[in-house]
Amino acid sequence: MLPKKYKPQLEEKKWQDYWKENNTFAFDHNSDKEIYSIDTPPPTVSGVLHIGHVYSYTQAEIIARFQRMKGKNVFYPFGFDDNGLPTERYVEKKKKVRGNKMKRSEFNDLCRSTVVELEEQFKNMWTSLGFSADWNLTYSTIQDDCQRISQRSFLDLHKQNLVEHRNEPNMWCVECQTAIAQAELESIDKDSTFNDLKFSLEDGGEIIIATTRPELLPSCVCIFVHPDDSRYKNIIGKNAIVPIFGHKVPILTDEKADIEKGTGAVMCCTFGDKTDIEWFKKHKLPLRVSISKYGKTTELAGDFQNLKIKEARKQIIEKLNETGVLLKSKSISHPVNTHERCGTDIEFLSTKQWVIKVMDHKDDLLKLADKINWYPKFMKQRYIHWVENLSWDWCISRQRFFGVPFPIWHCEDCNTQITPEDSELPVDPKENSPKKDCPKCGSSNLVGDLNIMDTWMTSSMSPQINYKWGEENSLENKLAPMSMRPQAHDIIRTWAFYTIVKSWFHQKDIPWKDIMISGHVLYKKGAKISKSKGNGPSGPEKLIEQYSADVIRYWTAGAKLGADCYFEEQEFKIAAKLVTKLFNASKFALMHLDGFTTPDTSKITFAIDKGLISLLQKVCKKSNQYLEEYNYSLALSEIESFFWDFCDNYMELMKHRVYNPQDHGEGSKESAQNALYLVIFSLIRLLAPFIPHITEEIYHAFFKGIEKVDSVHLCEYPKANDDFISDDDEKTYFDSKTFVGAIRKFKTENRLSLNTELDTIEYISSQFSSIKGGLSDVQRASGCLNLKVVDTLSENLSLIEFEEKTLAIDYTPKEVETN
Ligand SMILES: [Zn+2]
Ligand SMILES: [Zn+2]
């Protein structure tokens, strides 16, 4: 039996321990059942988890539980993404160190020990939310087998000629001291000034150009105007003199120079932006590097050398002003590309980097999008938009420390690249020598590659990590492609895209059949809750303690898939109300099921009971259908409205019958009991994926003794049974509750107690045509044993109207008191 009061803080922990002890959610490696596999996002180990994580991860967890109850063998792993820049930045901040100022091995040890603590915290948090992951399937991206799979990926791409070691201009973060990829850019509006500068022409005259980056003047290599810009017709091909720095640059034409912007003349530098790089390649311009990889001006900047970029800009603007070159300076706010991890403005430097050639494969990558089912559908467009607008190959090398090394050595004598055998992986070429000399020139002068991989290079392999691609115990045949990837919408351009890229290159297939995209939790309008911004509400642990895991879970399921939601603590209170009501309703039902041992649906003979059971079938049908489509919020709202109707109307209608069955005829109690059993047992199963603890509590209090299954979560998710659907019975139920509702409203309005007995009530049969089937329930629930069917309502009685129906009551309403 259920306890007097439900104390979630105690009971939830009890069930979490129970599931753990019984291995309730373990993936069965030997089963022939259909597999449902989930490519769970490995959270970046770079800070604490916030309510936004709870939101999206729970939405996916609900699906895992649903699929398990559908009888599938659910593969539900959890991983940690703990290599690469985000983790390094976290460790640098937390331990107040700099990776580049320490011995590499010491820094890596520090990273390893720091992530272990955090991962334990993460795991505890997921467990306290009742997550049904199989922790035996846990991985961390820095561990050996993940490194091996990343290196295997690189070697496979290398073999297929899909990676290249290129020396070319690339995006660079001067703060993190590494190359980065297009996907890591974040466009932020920043204040700046738009400056009109006067360049003198070599043989007299002048040209005015506008720029936000005058500190790049020493890097200026030419001036571009549009070929159709009549203003500059006569000076094309002539030389201009760069103010302050004095070097001569030609005036050239290019279609990309915008006639409308500023004066229409623009300076091209090494490199201010992506267009500069395109021009550099297209027009074979010289290279003038005035900003170093440390973000300081080089000797090219003359008097302004060795300054940080912003300081150089300030001093150069002052000088331009003094010398009369600065004609106009306008304050503007404009979008600037920054590094998403640190917010630093991006620079463009020529460095040698490893890149994956994605640009050549855009068509294939677009076609793959059609083979994947996107939930919600419109999210596919975001992927397509990203791929269509992609303008860089994927730069995968980072000049950092804590990550997967590139398994490759370079021959110092002939530049040949030497790769290890698969059996040597994982390998750190900085620590280990290759097993052979250069196959081309025979030299033993071989140097290990110094870079580490972009962290996405490993996390993009999460499906392959899950099925242990290329490993001895590989599950590739069983799991590839995986069933489903859950993730948030902001990483479609990174995680979803890179995973699709890898799967295409390695498996020539999609990585997963379905992708379920969730939204964010917003704290106030427009602001995403994130650990780095520190704008979240109190941590998830506190919220769980205060409201319980079930309540928090219920809240996450209230928001539409893919939609962002605002954090409203008020909504937790609504959720708490449902959990309490479910407990109380079940307690009432179980009280009347005392001694009940053999459920038998053929004993449900009363029309009101049958009407409710008919409605239940429709709820089962819809919630299955919605959950199959990842539409957990619609499923929940169907179940919820059924549940409240059951509590508010059905229980009121049949209450008298379970207490006094003798008044209702033969089989009346059995009918009610069987209906109660079926409804409560169905409700706890319908709700189990959403609120797993309280439903398990109710299941164990009674149903387990009859059903003999160890957990409600291993019971079957309720399926609709069409044999139980009956429009007539539903109508009886509906009319009966309308009838009782009308009387109750009347009593309330006349300040009569709800169990006041009323004398005659007349009704016209056509208005409550089906009430007959539930007559004994209606009579008792309405407090009127004397119901009369008439053709015309008596005029001397009080007429009451309710939902477009009319009743006549033998009762004189009191005068309404007025002040
Ligand atoms: Zn950075
Ligand atoms: Zn060689």
pLDDT at 810: 86
Q: Which ligand number lies closest to the CA of residue 441? A: 2
Task: Say yes or no to pLDDT of 100 above 70.
Answer: yes
Q: Which ligand number lies closest to the CA of residue 399? A: 1
Phi first, then psi, for residue 591 (nearest 5°) are -60, -40
Under the banding of pLDDT at 50, 70 and 90, the label for residue 391 is confident
Angle between helices 540-547 and 51-69 (to 10 degrees): 60
* More confident site: 83 or 423: 423
Q: Which ligand number lies closest to the CA of residue 443? A: 2
**CB-hemisphere CA count at 13 Å for 119?**
21
Task: Say yes or no to pLDDT of 535 above 50.
Answer: no
Our CA dihedral for 133, 138, 142, 148, rounded to 10 degrees, sits at -130
Q: List pLDDT tens digits, range 435-489.
A: 999 999 999 999 999 999 999 999 999 999 999 999 999 999 999 999 999 999 9
Which 3-state string (H, E, C) describes 640-701?
Answer: HHHHHHHHHHHHHHHHHHHHCHHHCCCCHHHHHHHHHHHHHHHHHHHHCCCCHHHHHHHHHH
Q: List pLDDT tens digits, range 709-741.
A: 999 999 999 999 999 999 999 999 999 999 999
| Burial bucket for residue 667 (CB in 10 Å: 0-12, 13-18, 19+) | middle
Task: Say yes or no to pLDDT of 44 above 90.
Answer: no
Q: Which ligand number lies closest to the CA of residue 411? A: 2
Measured in angstroms, how far is the CA atom of residue 175 from the centroid of ligand 1?
5
Contact present, 331 and 191 (Cβ < 8 Å): yes
Measured in angstroms, how far is the CA atom of residue 655 from the centroid of ligand 1?
66
Q: List pLDDT tens digits, range 213-227.
A: 999 999 999 999 999
Q: List pLDDT tens digits, range 640-664.
A: 999 999 999 999 999 999 999 999 9
Contact present, 648 and 640 (Cβ < 8 Å): no
Under the banding of pLDDT at 50, 70 and 90, the label for residue 534 is very low
Q: Using CA atoms, how far apart are residues 280 and 269, in angstroms rounded to an integer?
A: 9
Q: Using CA atoms, how far apart are residues 152 and 172, in angstroms rounded to an integer?
A: 27
Measured in angstroms, how far is the CA atom of residue 221 from the centroid of ligand 1?
27
Q: Does the CA dihedral 230-232-234-237 come out positive or negative? A: negative
The stretch 535-542 carries a mean pLDDT of: 70
Measured in angstroms, how far is the CA atom of residue 438 from the centroid of ligand 2?
5
- Per DSSP bridges, beta strands 178-179 and 266-269 are unpaired
Q: Which ligand number lies closest to the CA of residue 343? A: 1
Q: Residue written as tokens 């750190």?
A: 428
Q: Which ligand number lies closest to the CA of residue 180? A: 1
Residues whose beta carbons lie less than 5 angstroms from ion ligand 1: 173, 175-176, 339, 341-342, 344
Q: Using CA atoms, how far apart are residues 503 and 500, in angstroms rounded to an integer?
A: 5
Measured in angstroms, how far is the CA atom of residue 56 from the centroid of ligand 1?
27
Measured in angstroms, how far is the CA atom of residue 172 from the centroid of ligand 1?
8
Residue 358 tokens read as: 């994605």
Of the candidates 566, 502, 636, the one whose C-alpha atom is nearest the C-alpha of residue 59 is 636
pLDDT at 533: 47
Domain boundaries, the chain: 31-154+457-556, 187-347, 569-725, 751-809
Measured in angstroms, how far is the CA atom of residue 764 from the centroid of ligand 2?
101
Which DSSP symbol is given to 454?
Answer: -
Exposure string over 685-705, b if 16+ CB within 10 A, otherwise e: bbbbbbbbbbbbbbbbbbbbe
In which region does residue 650 sit, left (phi positive, over 0), alpha (psi from -120 to 50) or beta (all else)? alpha
Measured in angstroms, how far is the CA atom of residue 413 from the centroid of ligand 2?
5
Superfamily of domain 187-347: Valyl/Leucyl/Isoleucyl-tRNA synthetase, editing domain (3.90.740.10)
Residue 252 tokens read as: 């050239």
Q: List pLDDT tens digits, range 246-276.
A: 999 999 999 999 999 888 999 999 999 889 9
Q: Residue written as tokens 């001093």?
A: 315
Which residues have CB under 8 Å from 270's CB, separation 6+?
219, 221, 276, 280, 285, 286, 287, 288, 289, 290
Measured in angstroms, how far is the CA atom of residue 418 from the centroid of ligand 2?
9
Measured in angstroms, how far is the CA atom of residue 160 from the centroid of ligand 2?
21
Q: Using CA atoms, how far apart are residues 495 and 487, in angstroms rounded to an integer?
A: 9
Q: How many residues does the chain have?
A: 819
Which residues have CB under 8 Å from 114's CB, separation 6+?
87, 90, 91, 94, 95
Measured in angstroms, how far is the CA atom of residue 417 from the centroid of ligand 2?
8
The stretch 700-707 carries a mean pLDDT of: 97
pLDDT at 225: 95
CB atoms closer than 10 angstroms to residue 100: 14
The DSSP annotation for 38-65 comes to B-----BSSS---HHHHHHHHHHHHHHH
Q: Which ligand number lies closest to the CA of residue 344? A: 1
Q: Using CA atoms, how far apart are residues 316 and 301, in angstroms rounded to an integer?
A: 10
Q: Using CA atoms, how far apart are residues 242 and 219, in angstroms rounded to an integer?
A: 10
Phi first, then psi, for residue 378 (nearest 5°) are -65, -15
Please say whether the structural domain 569-725 has been given the CATH code 1.10.150.20: no
569-725 and 187-347 share a CATH fold = no
Q: Using CA atoms, how far apart are residues 255 and 217, in angstroms rounded to an integer?
A: 22
Exposure string over 172-184, b if 16+ CB within 10 A, otherwise e: bbbebbbbbbbbb
Which residues have CB under 8 Å from 679's CB, separation 6+?
589, 612, 613, 616, 646, 650
Q: Using CA atoms, how far apart are residues 633 and 639, in angstroms rounded to an integer?
A: 10
May I ask the CATH architecture of the domain 31-154+457-556? 3-Layer(aba) Sandwich (3.40)
Measured in angstroms, how far is the CA atom of residue 410 from the centroid of ligand 2?
8
